[in-house]
Amino acid sequence: METTKDNNIIELRHITKTFEDGFVAVDDFNLTIQRGEFVTFLGPSGCGKTTTLRMIAGFELPSSGEILLNGCDISHMPPNKRPINTVFQRYALFPHLNIFDNIAFGLKLKKLPKDEIVKKVKKALEMVDLEGFESRRIQTLSGGQQQRIAIARALVNEPEILLLDEPLGALDLKMRKEMQIELKNMHDRLGITFIYVTHDQEEALTMSDKIVVMSEGRTQQIGTPEDIYNEPKNAFVADFIGESNVFNGIMTGKCRVRFCGAEFDCLDDVENGTMIDAVVRPEDVIITTPEKGMISGKVTSIIFKGVHYEIVVMSGKNEIVVQSTKKAEIGSEVGIIIEPEGIHVMIAEDTINRIESGVNRHYKLEFLEGKLKCDLTKVLPNSSFNDDEVLVDAHGDEIDTSSIKIIISIKPEDISMSDDEEAGILSGHIISLIYKGDHYSYVVRTDEDVDIIIDDEDLWNMDDYVSLIIPEDKIQYSLKK
Ligand code: ADP
Ligand code: MG
């Protein structure tokens, strides 16, 4: 019987890529791929997907770490010696050659006998369902057909591994959906290992056996589509995979969590007082009448999505996205229910205070009624104030600040507490206190109903009313995307 280990085709061990300019594009990447698997690298543009793929293909050398193929280190093997072929987003076909010559190109370079080349090209065309297309010219093919030729050109080399870098990116939506199914069928039929790159989460979820979610050169989570969708490991994954509501919250008891101004039962038993991110999928939010809801809010938008409605409810300062088969009226008051199994509690990774604020007509933050000095020209790229003190963009056009949201970020260690009510800009009651070894971590619920985390070496008591002193230069402002 084969052991699992024998089934590993590719292993990436502690792969790091630092470019000449010092930029770390891939940082300690670890992954094992099994023979025949369909693995997808998923992440936003610039997160290092292509760089990782290029290292597997051999077009780029890792700065450190090793790549094993069938257990042997191939980190320094030239690309043409690896049993690996790549299909790129742009098909990179030769427009002046017919389809036969496009596919046969590499085989001719290898000086294979003519009749063998003919046989192999025929077989490759069959694999992509374009048998008999040998003498057609490239220009006569649709985008989808051209991409299939590009795949046939890679398959003709009989690779053990096929790398596909956003291969459907240039196709329109309908063609992309069709090709997704075709590629998946092709994978099942051929039994070749596919390593696929996309920034499209839906594509990754429908096609893959295993997904590697990446952000800024690091893997965030590796798992099956179900794992990643149902049990996202952190707020990045939750936010990136499928549409999610992510709320800042705090544990208030055993399997009790507070967010959106209410307390909910949940299934995750996380220590009382821990700051968390609560992730709630839109399909897990139930709309009811205001009096039956655990929280209530006002419907601000509704879009029909074919099978369901996507409804946005504003509850206080929180925007909640809901999927519902029932319609709701814009402007109506609704209640919201979230069952314990619909709440995914994730311990906040970087405990940093993030407060969201709108901007008023005088270009001041609505939070604390303008007390914070946020320079909008530093937050909005290419903006400036013109002679009339109007905020304008690079073209001199007035910027509409009514829809802008600013994130105010403050590190817990930059805040100190005082019992002099006048000392700081915010005041509130200590609602949580945890000893963290060398300091205490407090949560203060301010008079504005915002929960702020503070790291402090001194011991205060629960329920103490304190003023929070935050040095102006420690506050960071950024634009909410
Ligand atoms: P993705 O495919 O996920 O969009 P890439 O792997 O192409 O991302 O790029 C990851 C990051 O590395 C990007 O920020 C990109 O600008 C940077 N990068 C890529 N190639 C080079 C290079 N040759 N020199 C410096 N930086 C590079
Ligand atoms: Mg790329």
pLDDT digits (tens, 9 = 90+) for 171-228: 777 888 888 998 999 899 889 999 999 998 989 999 999 999 999 999 999 999 999 9
Nearest atom of ligand 1 to the alpha carbon of 41: 3
Ligand 1 site-directed mutation target among 47, 89, 200, 212, most atoms within 8 Å of CB: 47
Give the burial string for 270-296 (b: 16+ CB within 10 Å, else e): beebbbbbbbbbbebbbbeeeeebbbb
Q: How far apart are the first and last CA of the chain?
A: 52
Does residue 237 fall inside a structural domain? Answer: no
Is residue 262 in a domain? yes
One domain for residues 340 and 442: no
Closest listed ligand to the CA of 47: 1
Q: Is a pLDDT exceeding 60 seen at residue 2?
A: no
Assess whether the C-beta atom of 45 lies below 6 angstroms from ligand 1: yes
Residue 435 C-beta-side C-alpha neighbours within 13 Å: 6
pLDDT digits (tens, 9 = 90+) for 393-427: 999 999 998 889 999 999 999 999 999 988 999 99
At 330, which CATH number?
2.40.50.140
* Best of 50, 89, 195 for a ligand 1 pocket test (most atoms within 8 Å of beta carbon): 50
Ligand number nearest CA of 218 is: 1
Residues 6+ apart with CB under 8 A from 119: none
Q: Note whether 34 and 124 are same-domain residues.
A: yes
For residues 187 and 262, membership in a common domain is answered with no
Residue 30 in any domain: the answer is yes
pLDDT tens digits for 336-372? 999 999 998 988 766 788 899 999 988 999 999 889 9
pLDDT at 10 over 80: yes
120 with 198, same domain? Answer: yes
What are the tens digits of pLDDT across the range 428-469?
999 877 666 567 878 899 998 888 999 888 889 888 999 999
* 357 shares a domain with 327: no
Does ligand 1 lie within 6 Å of residue 62's CB atom?
no
pLDDT at 449: 86
Last residue of a domain, one of 177, 200, 230: 230
Contacts of 100 by beta carbon, 8 Å cutoff, 6+ apart: 121, 134, 135
The pLDDT, as a whole number, for residue 1 is 43
For a ligand 1 pocket test, name from 21, 50, 51 the mutation site with the most ligand atoms within 8 angstroms of its C-beta. Answer: 51
Specify the number of domains making up the chain: 3
Residues 307 and 195 in one domain: no
CA distances from 290 to 294, 299, 360 (A): 8, 12, 30
150 contacts 92 by C-beta, under 8 angstroms:
yes
Residue 179 is predicted with a pLDDT of: 86
Give the residue from 54, 48, 64, 66 showing the smallest Cα distance to 10. 66
Same domain, 246 and 394: no
Q: Does residue 46's CB lie within 6 angstroms of at least one atom of ligand 1?
A: yes
In a domain? residue 153: yes
Instruction: Express each pLDDT in 89-104 by its tens digit.
Output: 766 788 888 999 999 9
Range of the domain at 249: 242-347
Residue 267 lies in a domain: yes
Selection from 8, 72, 17 nearest residue 50 by Cα: 17
Find the CATH number of the domain harbouring 186: 3.40.50.300
pLDDT for position 234: 84
206 domain residue, yes or no? yes
302, 328, 347: which is the final residue of a domain?
A: 347
- 273 or 51, which is more confident: 51
Cα separation of 345 and 246, whole Å? 10
List, for residues 235-293, the tens digit of each pLDDT value.
788 878 877 888 888 899 999 999 998 999 999 888 888 888 888 989 999 999 999 99
One domain for residues 155 and 9:
yes
- 176 lies in the same domain as 324: no
Q: How confident is the model over 121-148, as pLDDT tens digits?
A: 999 999 888 999 999 998 888 888 888 8
Q: Are residues 379 and 465 in the same domain?
A: yes
Tokens of 319: 């925007």
Residue 360 and residue 340 share a domain: no
35 and 141, same domain (yes or no)? yes
- The reply to whether ligand 1 has any atom less than 6 angstroms from the CB of 23 is yes
Last residue of a domain, one of 230, 251, 279: 230
Is residue 176 in a domain? yes
Looking at residue 148, what DSSP letter applies? H
